[in-house]
Amino acid sequence: MNLRGRPEVVLEREYEGTTDTLRAARTDVTGCLHERGVDPDLRDRAELVLSELAANAVQASPGNPFGLRLSLGNDGAVVVTVTSYTSNGSPPPRERWGPMTLRAPSGRGLMIVDELSDQVVIDKPDPRTVVVTATLR
């Protein structure tokens, strides 16, 4: 944690907005958390959360880069933040996180992130930027 009590940023990168980069982002997160001795269960959940958020970013705006910030708190929290740049609007409101029907081929990402995380916050600092932050403990 830094002097202001905020989680310490341990990884910050930007990736191309293609599905080819999803594996690299997952590998970066798990490697970074492993190096810092983070519990394997928490590490696995963080990897899955990152995977879902990054896939959402690529799907919402193919070809546009997405940013990843990984932070660690003194309380053992892992904070995964994905920033995407899109003209496709905002994610749906929380009550609509999930597939439209049981057989829908997509729509489960934010629901999975919400289940695996202690807190999920979505910010839209400007019309083309979406920042999703998931805190896991």
pLDDT in tens, 8-40: 999 999 999 999 999 999 999 999 999 999 999
pLDDT for position 27: 97
| 3 vs 68, more confident | 68
Read off the amino acid at residue 127.
P
Question: Cβ distance 86 to 130 under 8 Å?
Answer: yes
| 121 vs 107, more confident | 121
**Among residues of the chain, what percentage have pLDDT more than 90?**
69
Helix (H), strand (E) at residue 129: strand 129-136
Pick the CATH number of 8-136 from 3.30.70.270, 3.30.450.20, 3.30.565.10, 3.20.20.480: 3.30.565.10
